[in-house]
Structure 1
Amino acid sequence: MFWQKSKPVGNEGMGLAEKVATEAEGFYRSKKMHCAEAVLLAVKNNFRPEVPDSVIEVAIGFGGGSGTGCLCGAVVGGTMAFGLVIPHDQKRVNKLTQELHHWFKSQYGAVCCRTVRANHKGICAELTGAVAGKVAELLS
């Protein structure tokens, strides 16, 4: 993984960031959702479980770099997750979004989906989990 694991919580002995990462990667690997949806759902499930799953539908157009190869959908899903978990605090959400972007770029060399996929073949499932884990870490 590309992020630091948090301290263990719960009976599983798994840290929250690791739990969120594993869940997001599993959602992506199920082929029932893309990166943005998977990150958003995993974060929602662990930070705002009372929010209906239907909120994930707002992420439908962001997979594969918004369908054009631009900004990585996992990063977009993470940015949406910040807003979901920390509503009404634009300053904090902006700060966390910047931290996520800087971290992602340092790990993958770019935040452009097309560039990342060209330089790291077959990485999307792992990357989806790593982004979700980093989002959880930043929120904790």
Structure 2
Amino acid sequence: MIEEIDLQKVKETAETYYRDGDFYCSESIVKTIRDAFALSLPDDVIAMASGFPIGMGNSGCACGAIVGGIMALGMFFGRTQGKDQKVQKAMDLAHELHDFFQKNHKVLCCQILTKGMTLGSPVHMKQCIAFTGEVAEETARIIARELEIKVKNGSRIIDVR
């Protein structure tokens, strides 16, 4: 496990994956978090996020960025055995990430967040790239806090407790 995480780098990396067309929002976040925290998980975890962009398979439902963030939290705090009470921690942290996004944007519905935008237009891309970076950064902040990993933002050390 790593000893320190740079939130600015996490944000910029996720945004770059999306901006450059390498991955969509949910995939960008899962890949960024996996790599930033040096998890030895296969690329299959990124593939698992491939159905969530554009509001769950282009249906306009839940924002793919928030879904990717919740998937990334599950990589750390999710359960692998039935009836494991560890699930409550994963659910609590997912709720925290949900509330963070909702507080900043009022809704999580992709259709509402992108209302009036043309898919792939500069204004759409700018917004979704920003959402991707924002959610990746907050997801990394939550993980670091829970695992007591030192956090910096650029060159500045910060306290995430």
Q: Which band: TM-score by shorter chain?
A: 0.7 to 0.9
The alpha carbon displacement at 1:43 in A equals 0.6
Aligned equivalent of 2:64 = 73
Aligned equivalent of 2:149 = none
Is 1:99 paired with 2:73? no
| Count of aligned pairs between the two proteins | 127
Identity of aligned residues (%): 32
Deviations 1:44-74 (A, max 9, x none): 1112431122320001110000110100000
Query: Larger C-alpha radius of gyration, 1 or 2?
Result: 2
Separation (CA, whole Å) in 2 of partners of 1:72 and 1:21 = 17
Q: 1:42 aligns with which of 32, 42, 47?
A: 32
Aligned equivalent of 1:25 = 15
Aligned equivalent of 2:153 = none
Query: More helix by proportion, 1 or 2?
Result: 1
Write the mapping of 1:1-140 to structure 2, written as runs, cut at 5 A.
9=4, 16-66=6-56, 67-88=58-79, 89-118=86-115, 121-122=123-124, 123-140=127-144
TM-score by length of 2: 0.73
The ranges of structure 1 where at least 4 consecutive aligned residues each deviate by more than 6 angstroms after the TM superposition are none
Partner letter of residue 35 of structure 2? Answer: N
Structure 2 stretches lacking a partner, 5+ long: 80-85, 118-122, 145-161
Deviations 1:16-38 (A, max 9, x none): 22221111111101112110000
Contact 1:64 1:72 in 2 (8 A): yes
RMSD of equivalent CA atoms = 1.7
